[in-house]
Structure 1
């Protein structure tokens, strides 16, 4: 059986010292996003760098600009929004210079994404395995039989029990947690270096959330996958991320190492955000589990 490190995702670079700095795969510098329809700036001055194998969390309430920031990095802003300032680079290339053909080549192979509500991203009339296999064939040029095998391996990689059975299932036959794993399998099918997880576990119960976060952490550790984790819940980024940005109404109010920001917040808004989830605790996802 081919494991993750044997080809589904790129391996970590061999021979590098554990603390050797690596060039960022994603870099945002003073990014500003405007709404042409309302003639106003929605996101103002977001900056961070993301190296291979690292994870950055973006946390804030609904409407804080989290998703717009990620969609800007993915080149999929809604029609009336635009990047009005700053720069976004993927592997050192300013995305403002990319034409549609270059973007099609990058998405899935260099940067990919998983969003909330996986059912809305899957075709209900096509078996899930066929949808993953099609993504593999489109990006990797594999023959049908090889794409089928790779799809099953991907379903096994995301810890789905009986991946052959899941491969032949329709979306409505799977639970929410299983569907989210299917979407993650599709997102990593072409071995991207960056994965954006935008509220990817929000609709799931705590046990399933913990299992999926643990699986993402394992992918990151084994392959050097870089993660951007977007959530309204500080506990999600506490579980997974090295650095966190706290967004409020489009502005970064606090930024730094995750433990420092979430366990000793300096900004009142960060303290209020943590207090909203205080009954659950920042460490509630420090568990591991198997398939759900």
Structure 2
């Protein structure tokens, strides 16, 4: 019988103890797999197989011209497709739940509490006859069960969190008394009131001037970093996506023509349409996000 080396067992123990372990995989909060959207009235498919995943704290951008299928894809994710449109293939999972299994009442519970959205024209989503603070407070009461006084206090906190000056004053104002940028901040406060895990920003900064747009994007980025909020940023503007996103999908005529990490797609675009978008947007501010060193590598 061959004697065992006295040092072999400790060596194995040390090797095991120092072996690197892979970090646990974080499950996605939103998983979109080969989603297709059809128009029943026109008997045609208008979105042709969109796929992406979002984990907490990450941001995915969806860019493309008007009519490319960006908004229809987002509405499919939210379960609010316009009449005559329907998901004809693929699947959407929100926090592990297949949305195809959701009843209307379960969808109502999910929206706002787990997934929420901010759209382009905030005035269209706020009641002009109700003070803006009361609208934020109402979401808190319905979605989180807070009492009236608690909801008011929390609503003021949320208005402060979205960087509105004098939030107590803003609480008592009507939508027509606020600027476009202020209204968008109110809408963001409303969208995140119930602590959703995913926020879809669909052209949320399009109607704003450049300075206010940058402030809103900084705000979304701050919310992402502080709370682990996952973002879907929909825009026709590559500079917007470059500022806040980790991954980008380029859509054209309902199809994803290019997809990948933002720095890779912006610096080394492969599809002619992506190259055209980059060339067009460089003169409008995209050059600020393009590292010349990386671009030439």
Whether these two folds match at TM > 0.5 is yes
CA deviation string 1:28-58 (max 9, x = no partner): 1111000001000000010000001100000
CA deviation string 1:254-278 (max 9, x = no partner): 0000011012111110011122222
Give 1:129 deviation, angstroms: 0.2
Aligned equivalent of 2:59: 55
Matches within 5 A, 1:134-173: 134-173=138-177
For the aligned residue pairs, the C-alpha RMSD in angstroms reads 1.5
Aligned equivalent of 1:289: none
Give the secondary structure class of the aligned counterpart of 2:282.
coil
CA deviation string 1:161-196 (max 9, x = no partner): 110111111101111000000000000010000000
Identify unmatched segments of 5+ residues in structure 1.
1-16, 287-292
CA distance in 2, matches of 1:159, 1:165: 13
Q: 1:65 aligns with which of 64, 69, 75?
A: 69
Q: 2:50 aligns with which of 35, 40, 46?
A: 46
Structure 2 CA distance for partners of 1:120 and 1:29, relative to 1, 3 Å:
same
Matches within 5 A, 1:182-193: 182-193=186-197
Aligned equivalent of 1:247: 251
Higher helix share: 2
Q: 2:239 aligns with which of 221, 235, 243?
A: 235
TM superposition score normalised by structure 1: 0.90
Give 1:89 deviation, angstroms: 0.6
CA distance in 2, matches of 1:124, 1:19: 49
Give the secondary structure class of the aligned counterpart of 1:142.
coil
Aligned equivalent of 1:126: 130
Q: Work out whether 1:85 is the aligned partner of 2:89.
A: yes
CA distance in 2, matches of 1:118, 1:202: 11
Give 1:153 deviation, angstroms: 0.5
Give 1:18 deviation, angstroms: 11
TM superposition score normalised by structure 2: 0.88
Aligned equivalent of 2:100: 96
CA distance in 2, matches of 1:284, 1:137: 43
Contact 1:236 1:285 in 2 (8 A): no
Contact 1:56 1:229 in 2 (8 A): yes
Give the secondary structure class of the aligned counterpart of 1:182.
helix
CA deviation string 1:139-166 (max 9, x = no partner): 0111111000010000011011110111
Identify unmatched segments of 5+ residues in structure 2.
1-20, 291-297
Contact 1:29 1:46 in 2 (8 A): yes
